[in-house]
């Protein structure tokens, strides 16, 4: 199937174009931390010559505990992302949690992301679509890949065909996610680019009681399998020191492993594509 291509500035995600790497810390911990990560990730991706989009959440609205760090919030978070764009020239992605956030977030974000838990929220999808910006929807852990056809229809009916679909694992009992790699092939039948979320796919939601656990050792092998299945981009959370990260540390890739990760992925892409 010939997929539709989605353009984000000078980056194109889609059939036949280079694998795009969407990477960054789970949450904006501070301006200095986010900017430092964006710069270091850009140096690595520029060195290898791969397309890069920076991701970081301004608000983690679905943390396990009421006491968990959520981020700087919409106003300050969007300002930080705007400043990072200005200083580094990178494109940015972040997730929105309500229709009320979209007007402000849409002014800065190059890709508006719909979190997995909210992927069926019609009002949120419609409002995001009407910005005209590319919209990346993460398939909910409780949804089948076939159900994403309904999500696509909501976005298209709202006048937007700049659609990206992301696989981030499926619930398997309590506190465990698994990957059914048929999902990548099935979602590709929509005609839109498919992204593999390599780090949330190895997450163990709520497994630590007041926080999520994870198995970061499986990030690379599962990503290789996703590339072999034909995905167009890899989404992954990267942190200089995952053990001290304020969110999702157990399932994040350590920054000093990012360059080797990209090179290993490109080997598979060269063969499978």
Please say whether the beta carbons of 23 and 149 come within 8 A.
Answer: no
Residue 127 lies in a domain: yes
Q: What's the rounded mean pLDDT across residues 14-42?
A: 97
Domain limits at 122? 6-272
Q: How far is CA 71 from CA 29, 93, 101, 273, in A?
A: 6, 15, 15, 38
CA distance 233 to 204: 23
Q: With respect to residue 133, please indicate whether it lies within any of the assigned structural domains.
A: yes
What's the pLDDT tens digit per position in 75-131? 999 999 999 999 999 999 999 999 999 999 999 999 999 999 999 999 999 999 999
DSSP 142: T
More confident residue, 60 or 195: 195
Identify whether 29 is part of a domain: yes
In the chain, the number of structural domains is 1
C-alpha distances (whole Å) from 20 to each of 28, 208, 247 are 21, 32, 24
pLDDT at residue 34 greater than cutoff 90: yes
Condensed to tens digits (0 to 9), the pLDDT of residues 160-188 reads: 999 999 999 999 999 999 999 999 999 99
Could you tell me if residue 1 is inside a domain? no
Q: What is the CATH number of the domain that holds 165?
A: 3.20.20.70
CB-side neighbour CA atoms (13 Å) of 255: 21
What is the pLDDT, as a whole number, of residue 207? 66
**pLDDT surpasses 90 at 2:** no
- What is the per-residue pLDDT across 229-246, written as a single tens digit (0 to 9) for each? 999 999 999 999 999 999
């Amino acid at each position: 199937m010939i997929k539709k291509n989605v353009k984000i500035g000078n980056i194109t995600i889609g059939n036949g174009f280079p694998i795009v790497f969407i990477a960054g810390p789970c949450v904006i911990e501070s301006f200095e931390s986010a900017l430092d990560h964006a710069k270091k990730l850009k140096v690595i991706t520029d060195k290898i010559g791969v397309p890069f989009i920076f991701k970081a959440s301004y608000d983690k609205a679905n943390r396990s505990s009421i006491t968990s760090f959520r981020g700087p919030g919409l106003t300050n978070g969007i300002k930080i992302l705007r400043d990072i764009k200005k200083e580094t020239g990178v494109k940015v992605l972040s997730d929105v949690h309500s229709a009320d956030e979209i007007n402000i977030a849409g002014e800065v974000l190059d890709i508006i992301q719909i979190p997995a838990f909210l992927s069926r929220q019609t009002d949120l999808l419609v409002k995001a679509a009407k910005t005209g910006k590319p919209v990346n929807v993460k398939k909910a852990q409780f949804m089948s890949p076939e159900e994403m056809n309904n999500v696509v229809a909501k976005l298209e009916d709202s006048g937007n065909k700049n659609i990206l679909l992301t696989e981030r694992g499926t619930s398997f009992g309590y506190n465990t996610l698994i990957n059914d790699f048929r999902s990548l092939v099935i979602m590709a039948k929509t005609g839109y680019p498919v992204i593999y979320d390599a780090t949330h796919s190895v997450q163990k939601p709520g497994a630590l009681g007041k926080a999520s656990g994870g198995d970061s050792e499986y990030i690379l092998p599962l990503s290789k399998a996703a590339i072999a299945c034909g995905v167009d981009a890899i989404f992954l959370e990267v942190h200089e020191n995952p053990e001290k990260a304020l969110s999702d540390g157990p399932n994040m890739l350590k920054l000093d492993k990012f360059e080797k990760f990209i090179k290993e992925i490109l080997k598979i892409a060269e063969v499978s594509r």
